[in-house]
A and B are shown apart, each in its own frame.
Chain A
Amino acid sequence: MFKAVNEKTDEELVLLALKDQDYFLLLVRRYEEKLTRYISRISNLDKDEIEDVLQDIFIKVYKNLNAFDTSLKFSSWIYRISHNEVISNYRKFKNKAKVISFDTDGEFIKNIADELDIEKEFNLEDLKKNISLILNKMDLRYREVLILRFMEGNNYNEISDILKKPEGTVATLLNRAKKQFSQIIEDQNIKI
């Protein structure tokens, strides 16, 4: 029985959670790690602060379950709420000096290197070493769109749903993000 519930899609769980609060627990479990990682990547909040923000996010999600549009993916919708919550807390963390540490996997490095066409010219291991430095120097909006695309693995349509921007604007943001990424490599004289 429990296994069967676990196999249900997010969208099915939303419908069940509307009838019985306990089903919401499954959704929280599915997303708490993913969202913790996402928030830590786009903000410099510490562990406790992230936990507070996450609580607010999940309570907001629960309150607004009836507003969930089934034509969207639930993951896009919950990431959107998380994005909005982080942005509304932006003042809290924008002046904090803490540097975000990006526990990047090889996949991200490979993806971004492919996109920037730097794989042949540079050593990917060196890029991996410097990735935190580069991403920390990026504007939040550019950093976030790179994270959504290459770390969270969202496509343009999903990013459009998360950021509530037209797909064309998402493409422009990604292009600018890539340019800024390359510019920082150049400006910082990072040898990769």
Chain B
Amino acid sequence: MKNLSQKIIEKIKQEGVEPTPKWEFVLKNSFFWGAFVLAVIIGGLTFSIILHTLLNNDWDLYMQLSGGLTKFIIVTLPYFWLVFLGLFTIIAYINVKNTKKAYKYNLQMIIGGVILISFLLGITFYNLGVAASLDRNLIQKLPPRYHSMVDANINLWQRPEEGFLSGSVESLDEYVLKLKDQNGDIWEIILSEDILEIVPDFILEDSSKIKIRGKIIDDNCLDKCFYADMVRPFDNPRDMLKKGVIEKDILEKMNLHMQKARPMMQGRILRDLVL
């Protein structure tokens, strides 16, 4: 035992052992902090989408869409994003756990801290409009088969027989709005004269995703026809849903469109519907 210290020093010299450079440890620690920050930002973005989805859910239509509040909540909870948030919370936890002083804090404190930061960032992102833009871009850019995975509303609004239809604006000429639904079928949409609410931004643009409440019209229709008494943008910005918040210039364009479409629509409506 007496010679152990000498043996160790000799071994260090013989084997040419050198202290690992400081920058390697700094880099390693920075990597974990960087990955933690990234995971928390992604967690924040995810939480902002969850917030956006919940706040912009069609709460006013829960009875018609699902037959009850509990069922509506179960059906429309953003499970995909909740799992995504959980995943990035775990990733953030693993990364922060690998930093130097993390062992001083217990699991609950770290997970709680990560969730709190994600929530605060999420609220900030939501208020900055990041969530709405992210959600809109995701829905528009994702292939249709993934839509129902990220947004449970897709299935709820793809039931034309029950009065709910959604899809993207295929074309809009002077008289007719054509809609391509989630299954790729083309619908001719006839807007009710007494339409309950129209949210402006979308309807004059091609490819916009919208959802429509109404009923199928079978007679005198070349394509599939749907009579709409309510139209909303698919990602449903909450502020726009307040009736009477339609921007003036959009309203004027809308009225012009309605006037041009009216002669044709009135004929159909009078023939087919008793409202």
| Interface residue ranges, A against B (CB under 8 Å) | 18, 21-22, 24-25, 28-29, 32, 36, 47, 51, 54-55, 58-59, 62-67, 69, 160, 164-169
Q: Which of B13, B17, B100, B105 contacts A63 (CB 8 A)?
A: B17
Q: List 14 A-B contacts (CB under 8 A).
A: A32-B1, A32-B4, A32-B5, A54-B4, A55-B11, A59-B11, A63-B17, A64-B25, A66-B19, A66-B21, A66-B24, A67-B20, A164-B103, A168-B106
Is the CB–CB distance between A59 and B12 below 8 Å? yes
Interface residues of B in 1-40 (CB under 8 A from A): 1, 4-9, 11-13, 17-22, 24-25
Is the CB–CB distance between B13 and A21 below 8 Å? yes
SS of B interface (majority): helix
Bound-state CA distance A45–B45 (Å) is 53
Q: Which of A29, A59, A167, A169 contacts B5 (CB 8 A)?
A: A29
| Interface residue ranges, B against A (CB under 8 Å) | 1, 4-9, 11-13, 17-22, 24-25, 100, 103-106
Is the CB–CB distance between B106 and A169 below 8 Å? yes
Is the CB–CB distance between B4 and A65 below 8 Å? no
Is the CB–CB distance between A55 and B8 below 8 Å? yes
Is the CB–CB distance between A64 and B20 below 8 Å? yes
Is the CB–CB distance between B25 and A62 below 8 Å? no
Contacts of B8 in A (CB 8 A): 28, 54-55, 58-59
Contacts of B104 in A (CB 8 A): 160, 166-167
Further contacts, 10 of them, CB under 8 A, given A166-B103, A169-B106: A29-B5, A59-B8, A59-B11, A63-B17, A63-B19, A64-B25, A66-B21, A66-B22, A67-B22, A67-B25
SS of A interface (majority): helix
Of all chain A residues, the one with the shortest Cβ separation from B110 is: A166
Contacts of B25 in A (CB 8 A): 64, 66-67
Of all chain A residues, the one with the shortest Cβ separation from B104 is: A166
Known A-B contacts A51-B4, A166-B104, A166-B105; the reply to A63 vs B20 at CB < 8 A is: yes
Bound-state CA distance A58–B4 (Å) is 10
Contacts of A62 in B (CB 8 A): 12, 17, 19
How far does the Cβ of A47 sit from chain B's closest Cβ, in whole Å?
8
Is the CB–CB distance between A25 and B105 below 8 Å? no
Known A-B contacts A24-B9, A55-B11, A64-B19; the reply to A69 vs B100 at CB < 8 A is: yes
Bound-state CA distance A66–B26 (Å) is 10
The 10 lowest CB-CB distance pairs between A and B, nearest first, are A164-B103, A66-B22, A28-B5, A65-B19, A67-B25, A58-B8, A166-B106, A29-B5, A25-B9, A66-B19
Bound-state CA distance A175–B7 (Å) is 40
Q: Which of B9, B105, B106 contacts A21 (CB 8 A)?
A: B9
Bound-state CA distance A21–B19 (Å) is 10
Of all chain B residues, the one with the shortest Cβ separation from A168 is: B106
Bound-state CA distance A57–B35 (Å) is 30
Contacts of A166 in B (CB 8 A): 103-106
Of all chain B residues, the one with the shortest Cβ separation from A51 is: B4
Is the CB–CB distance between B5 and A36 below 8 Å? no
Of all chain B residues, the one with the shortest Cβ separation from A64 is: B20
Q: Which of A55, A66, A69, A160 contacts B20 (CB 8 A)?
A: A66
Bound-state CA distance A63–B25 (Å) is 12
Contacts of B100 in A (CB 8 A): 69
